[in-house]
Amino acid sequence: EPTPVTFLGLGNMGHALASTALAAGHPITVWNRTPSRTTGLAEQGATPAPTPAEAVAATDLTLVCLLTDETVAEVLAPVAESGALKGKTLVNVTNSTPEQARQRASWAQAQGATYLDGGIMAIPQLIGTPHSYIYYSGDEQAFTTHRPLLARFGDPRYVGTDPGLASLYDMALLTGMYGLFTGAAQALALIRSAGLPTTDFAEQLQQFLIGMTAAPAAWGKSLDADTHATAVSTIAVNHAALPNLLATHRDQGLPVDLLTGLQPLLDRAIAEGHATDGLSRLAELLTR
């Protein structure tokens, strides 16, 4: 029997989660600051609640998908005051830092609620498809109990009892993504600065980067084993080549601030005697 569930927040993501639960047969109660966002779901059988407190009181389980942790604090404050959180389970998939997630968990526990944090690795359009997964951390019992619902949204990946871990993994993946995006922006700027079209080049860039992703995929093992030997590309060869790359961008009159962090780290790797290591050594240096 699908569990009844409440949704607080029906933005793009909250709406995708709520409609997926509804389509899977879960009776749902919904609240959103702008009430018109509940209309479509109500027509399909959802129960709109006039306040967050009434929404939370309606079911044992509440899924929170708001803009920021500050928004969550603001929306849940009157719910806590009314005592409606006592005995309830909160699954909060709102974007936050690991520290915010830990504090939200402590706060929820102080209200008598059970807390599970989530980090969504998907866009709303992918919710409910095999291409979506969500990290969860915090109360393991809550995860196990509600796994059938959570699995509807995408592959549920429980990463530990520390409520900050889902956010930590989320942030780590996004860190990799931003490295890719900043590198790609700089690469396209270089081609464009030479007056060249970028359509075909961008496709070549994609193919090249897909091939390059094999390198960091192997670094995890190197770091865990603390051995950084390589037959691919040494610190020394990268250290020697990077100045040419920076000079090329400078010669084209481009800003290089997105690229300049790497040179001092390579300098340090050389200075500390790691010239023949592979680039996994850089991650080790950053944590030391």
Q: Does 37 bind ligand NDP (CB under 6 A)?
A: yes
Q: Copy the structure tokens of residue 149.
A: 């619902």
* SS3 state at 217: helix
Q: Copy the structure tokens of residue 67.
A: 């803009």
The residue nearest ligand NDP at its CB is 11
Residue nearer to ligand NDP on the CB measure, 12 or 204 = 12
Q: Which stretch binds ligand NDP (CB under 6 A): 5-13, 23-31, 198-206, 249-257?
A: 5-13
Neighbours of 199 (CB within 10 A): 6
Q: Does 124 bind ligand NDP (CB under 6 A)?
A: yes
Q: Does 66 bind ligand NDP (CB under 6 A)?
A: yes
Binding mask 10-29 for ligand NDP (x = CB under 6 A): xxxxx---------------
Which CA distances in Å does 59 have to 7, 29, 53, 135, 136?
A: 10, 8, 11, 23, 21
**Centroid of chain to Cα 264:** 29
**Centroid of chain to Cα 139:** 19
Using only the alpha carbons of the chain, give its radius of gyration: 24
Which residue among 20, 47, 95, 167 contacts ligand NDP (CB under 6 A)? 95
CB 187 → ligand NDP: shortest distance, Å?
25
CB 97 → ligand NDP: shortest distance, Å?
12
Query: Rounded to an integer, what distance in angstroms lies between the CA atom of residue 162 and that of residue 165?
Result: 6
* Site of interaction with ligand NDP (CB under 6 A): 9-14, 32-34, 37, 65-67, 71, 74-75, 94-95, 120, 123-124
